[in-house]
Structures are given as C-alpha cells and as structure tokens.
Amino acid sequence: MSVIVTDAGFATTDWAADLGAQDVLTLASDTNPHTVDLSAAPKLVRVEFPSSADGRGFTIARVLRDHGYTGKLRATGHVIADQYAMARRCGFDDVEISDDLAARQPEDQWKFRSDWRQNDYQSRLRRA
C-alpha cells in the first residue's frame, strides 16, 4: 500500500485510484522532461523518485509545469518529509510514499512542512 501526502496531511482516499491506465503517465527519474509527450492529456503524471538523494524528479516537475502541463503531478517513491516544500514549489500537487516511510516519518512531520509558501528564500528576503 501507499500513503498520499497533501498539504492537509495524509489523505484517507486517493482520487487517482479510479483513473484508467490511459489517464496516468508514470515517468522514471531519468526521463528527459523536454521530450515528454503530453498530447494524450493525462490527468495524472507520476514522477518516480528512486532515492531521496535523487533530485531529478524536481526538475522534471518544474519543466512540465513550465511547458504548460496543468494536470495533477505526483511525486512517488523515496521522497522524505524534508523535501515536501521543495516538491510543492516545483509543481507537485501531492506525494505518494510507502507505508513504511509513513511509519518512520508520521503525518505531523509532513504537516510541519505543509506551509511550503511561507519559508522560501524569496519570502525571507522580503521580510528582511
């Protein structure tokens, strides 16, 4: 099983569970985001994170958003709570983690980072 993390914490249901295979596009972390064909207009793009040390998925999300993708973007795999704010700033709507990771990093750790707009670099500069 897996847990969906949103700004509100752990989601009890996954809206994407009812989507068909044609509505979901899964991208590996080594995908060149400039060559992704979104003409089929998938409702959900899942970007895999094989390791929390592999940040290529953040670039993929940012490029897809910059190229006009407005559907749902989901980071999936080894994303840790400390990376949640970055995932949201890059364009991800939510994060899908394993039950094991959710047990090691409970909901309160994710919710602590859910105000991803508050502590970004530019906001800190504006307050200074």
- Whole-angstrom Cα distance, residue 108 to residue 38? 35
Alpha-helix runs per DSSP H in 1-128: 56-66, 84-90, 99-104, 107-112, 121-127
pLDDT confidence band for 98 (50 / 70 / 90): very high
With a CB cutoff of 8 Å and minimum separation 6, the contacts of 118 are none
Whole-prediction pTM? 0.88
For residues 7-16, give the mean pLDDT.
Answer: 90
Give the per-residue pLDDT at 120. 61
- pLDDT tens profile 17-70: 889 888 999 999 999 999 999 998 899 999 999 999 999 999 999 999 999 999
- Residue 124 confidence class, pLDDT cut points 50, 70, 90: low
Note the pLDDT of residue 52.
93
Residue in 80, 94, 91 with CA at minimum distance from that of residue 33:
91
pLDDT at 93: 96
Give the domains, in start order, of the chain with CATH numbers.
Answer: 2-127 (3.40.50)
Mean pLDDT of 97-120: 86
Residue type, 126: R
Residue 121 reports pLDDT greater than 90 = no
pLDDT at 116: 67
**Which of the given ranges, 5-19, 20-34, 106-120, has the highest pLDDT on average?**
20-34
